[in-house]
Amino acid sequence: MQPAGLNEISQTAPFKLPPLPFNHDALAPHISEKTLSFHYDKHHKKYIDTTNELIKGTEFEGSKLDEIIRSTANNDKYQKLFNNAAQSWNHWFFWNSLKKDGGGIPKGNLLDLMNSSFGSYDQFVKEFADSSISQFGSGWGWLVRDADKLKVVKTQNADNPLSHNLKPVLAIDVWEHAYYLDYQNKRNEFVFEIINNLINWDFAEYNLSINP
């Protein structure tokens, strides 16, 4: 079942900034309204607008966003387009990975898969946090499905699991603009606040249920 509040990015160009699945102040005090205003209204919107500009008159003008990402990954000719298309998608995915009063231990099949993949929920938290915190410079922490297992990976800059034939399940944005106004250089505190208080397990379950 699709989670409440899930807003897809428009399927083909011109892409539109999808509405947030929560109000700007809904995630406080873990993520402030001020941070969301900058992060969503300025950063995310800029990626969407730049993607639309870059595909005008090109072979990608009628493509879906995920198709653009897969087609331009690791191609120097399209590096700028990849960066903006991937960041447009990454941010959409990140917003939906969060919800007010989230976090805690998942249930049912998701918990079973987590236990078989990591050994326990606590071990998952350790690996997810360590991977996200240790990403050097700008990037992302991901929970992904690889065949019949869950695993955590990190990517640099705009890179994401779609470029590596992995199924994304959850994301944490560890670019400085995601947390600096609230946490300054304490990325570790930001990451644990997300995992403990904001993770949207409904979105994770949905991602595992579609095209398994």
CATH number at residue 139: 3.55.40.20
Residues 140 and 205 occupy one common structural domain: yes
Residues in the chain, overall count: 212
- On whether both 48 and 136 belong to a single domain, the answer is no
The tens digit of pLDDT for each residue in 48-95 reads 999 999 999 999 998 999 999 999 999 999 999 999 999 999 999 999
Tell me the mean pLDDT in the region 162-168: 95
Number of domains observed in the structure of the chain:
2
Domain boundary among 73, 96, 119: 96
Residues 88 and 114 in one domain: no
Please tell me the predicted confidence (pLDDT) of residue 203: 96
150 and 194 part of one domain: yes
Together in a domain, 82 and 138? no
Residue 5 lies in a domain: no
- At residue 212, the pLDDT reads 55
Please report, for the domain that includes residue 92, its CATH number: 1.10.287.990
From 96, 117, 139, give the residue that closes a domain: 96
pLDDT of residue 8: 81
Q: Are residues 49 and 115 in the same domain?
A: no
111 pLDDT above the threshold of 60? yes
Q: Which of 96, 116, 137 is the last residue of a domain?
A: 96
* Inside any domain, residue 25: no
Together in a domain, 79 and 115: no
For 165-180, b where at least 16 C-beta lie within 10 A, e where not — what string?
ebbbbbbbbbbeebbe
Angle between helix 121-134 and helix 108-118 axes, rounded to 10 deg? 70
User: Is 24 inside a domain boundary?
Assistant: no
- Is the domain of 76 the same as that of 162? no
- Structure confidence at residue 30 (pLDDT): 98
Q: What are 119-139's pLDDT values in tens digits?
A: 999 999 999 999 999 999 999
State the residue range of the domain holding 193: 108-209
For residue 118, tell me if it sits in a domain.
Answer: yes
| Residues 131 and 188 grouped into a single domain | yes
| Domain identity same for 70 and 157 | no
Question: What is the DSSP secondary-structure string of 175-197?
Answer: SGGGTHHHHTT-HHHHHHHHHHH
